[in-house]
Chain A
Amino acid sequence: EAGVVQSPRYKIIEKKQPVAFWCNPISGHNTLYWYLQNLGQGPELLIRYENEEAVDDSQLPKDRFSAERLKGVDSTLKIQPAELGDSAVYLCASSSDRGYNEQFFGPGTRLTVL
């Protein structure tokens, strides 16, 4: 079974530029999460989807971040415009049971904003 797929793995951009990250969850997993992980820290939830509905986006900085999960499968996280402080690893995870058990994580996208 394929795991959670994320692309790109690495992205370097200049500040004020837009950037987008893509995630393909494990087949059949209805719940999808985007996390932000700063260096030396644990992941912090940005947004959680149940199918195509964003059910928890309270931690998403909505002035510059947006996300979508069309058709309840793949998801895209966008930052526009990027700031220096956005440099971090962006992790996508999925689960099959609304989060009652384990979450499966992708390898992450490491973003560097110059």
Chain B
Amino acid sequence: SQQGEEDPQALSIQEGENATMNCSYKTSINNLQWYRQNSGRGLVHLILIRSNEREKHSGRLRVTLDTSKKSSSLLITASRAADTASYFCATAQRVGQGAQKLVFGQGTRLTINP
């Protein structure tokens, strides 16, 4: 079963606009990560935000985390055609032996129109 719920399931915008995707989860987490998956390819790690952080930036990416609401958002500014992909949030949950595992959401399919 998947923990994360992502919203919207699909998003289509014009090149140059900003894209915002949201992720909600149910249990306590160690960190939350965002991954991108291009069609037919593996997942690529984008950014990680820890449970004691509220906001993080990486290039054109901005991630926020609200642990009280159990939610996160990913903002991509000045979108480009190459940003067309599926975006997944993944919550890191502590498991035995001091390790953690990722539980992925269902993803948001982002399409950037030229």
Binding site for B on A (CB under 8 A): 4, 31, 33, 40-45, 48, 50, 55-56, 91, 93, 98-108, 110
Contact = CB atoms under 8 A, between A and B. Distances in A.
Given A42-B4, A43-B43, A108-B42, A102 B48 contact: yes
B106 interface: yes
A48 B44 contact: no
- Indicate the member of B35, B98, B101, B106 with the most A CB atoms within 10 Å: B101
Contact of A103 (B1, B97, B102): B102
A50 B43 CA distance: 21
Contacts of A102: 33, 45, 48
B2 A41 contact: yes
Given A55-B99, A102-B48, A108-B41, 14 more contacts: A31-B99, A48-B99, A50-B99, A55-B96, A98-B97, A98-B98, A99-B100, A99-B102, A100-B92, A103-B43, A103-B102, A104-B45, A105-B35, A108-B42
Interface in B1-45: 1-2, 4, 30, 33, 35, 40-45
A56 B2 contact: no
A99 B33 CA distance: 12
A56 B100 contact: no
A91 B43 CA distance: 9
Contacts of A45: 101-103
B95 interface: yes
Nearest to B2: A42
A105 B102 contact: no
